[in-house]
Amino acid sequence: APQLAESGGGSVQAGGSLTLSCTATGFSNSGYCMAWFRQVAGKEREGVAGIGSDGTPTYGNSVRGRFTVYRAFNTLSLQMNLLRREDAAVYYCAAVRRRSGGSCNALISANYWGEGTQFTVTS
């Protein structure tokens, strides 16, 4: 079965940068989309950034201009800059398959999830 594995969590100073990575395995081909979500205890899951089948990056309002998402084959990376305390969370990688010739966007619909990677922001 397809699996997603996140890495890159840890601790970073406010205003600093951190890069998260998600590697997908087990897909029979490249016909799937990937995205990043985050969740803080007591709050609902929030879409952060993703790349649809058309190759267009999409960002949540709270991270647009500070984060950059890009994909290289089976790896989705999230470059995070100007980090704030409110960015600290568990970040989850998500994916969704598409039919041949179809489209997908994991920010809208996803059925594969990683276990998450967590980072904190210090002063």
pLDDT at 102: 87
pLDDT of 68 > 80? The answer is yes
pLDDT at 110: 96
User: 35: closest CA among 85, 100, 107?
Assistant: 107
Name the band, by pLDDT with cuts 50, 70 and 90, for residue 25: very high
pLDDT of 34 > 90? The answer is yes
- Is the dihedral angle over the CA atoms 95, 97, 100, 101 positive or is it negative? negative
Name the band, by pLDDT with cuts 50, 70 and 90, for residue 101: confident
Name the band, by pLDDT with cuts 50, 70 and 90, for residue 100: confident
Give the span between the Cα atoms of 106 and 22, in whole angstroms: 13
121 three-class SS: strand
